[in-house]
Amino acid sequence: MKKMILLSGLLQLIFLFTFSYQSHSQNLSSEDIKGQMVKDWERAKAYTIDYLNTMPAGKYSFKAVDSLRSFAMQMLHLSAGNVFLMSNATGSEPLPWLMSNPEHRASAQKKDSVMYYVTTSYDYCINAVKTFDVNKWGEKTKMFNVFEETRFALMNKTFEHQGHHRGQTTIYIRLQGIKPPEERLF
């Protein structure tokens, strides 16, 4: 009998918790999702700027090994990826410098140039998300004429790409004996 009373009480608590949770939950709108995406891009921009400022300007040409990109090249690749992938996701006009491939231009490898390309690419992504019609986020499009994805999925893949390349530069900073910036989840 005690087991039945205990089980009944436990089931009531589970029911009350579930009902209480459901009654307090709210539906997310498309605009809520867009707002969160803009917030995440702004956070990613600030985090990447922290990385750019942590690496000494004289070490931007550093490569962890000869077969890899330098720190500057990683960050320039990140910036080109931001613009290229987001322009494909949203159909917006890419920035003109994308075609000049700054990653392979010696004049673009210095800290001030890298900072320009990176911050400009983040501003481009933030603006693209802010201005892109949420009613088109579910449209399917092809990337490289092969991968069919929704525009929303491509915007998420763009965000993933920049995080991947920023993360790779953590090793570059550590190999200089410097502590990388603290993670920014919020």
Sorted by where each starts, the structural domains of the chain and their CATH numbers stand as 29-175 (1.20.120.450)
What are the strands, taking DSSP E only, across 9-124?
none
CA distance 129 to 152: 10
Backbone angles phi, psi at 140, to 5 degrees: -90, 145
Within 10 A of 6 (CB to CB), how many other CB atoms are there? 10
Judged against a pLDDT cut of 90, whether residue 13 lies above it is answered with no
Average pLDDT of the chain to the nearest whole number: 90
Model confidence at 15, in pLDDT bands (50, 70, 90)?
low
Within 10 A of 179 (CB to CB), how many other CB atoms are there? 8
Report pLDDT for 145.
87
Q: What is the percent of the chain where pLDDT is above 90?
A: 78
> Mind listing the pLDDT tens digit for each residue in 118-141?
999 999 999 999 999 999 999 999
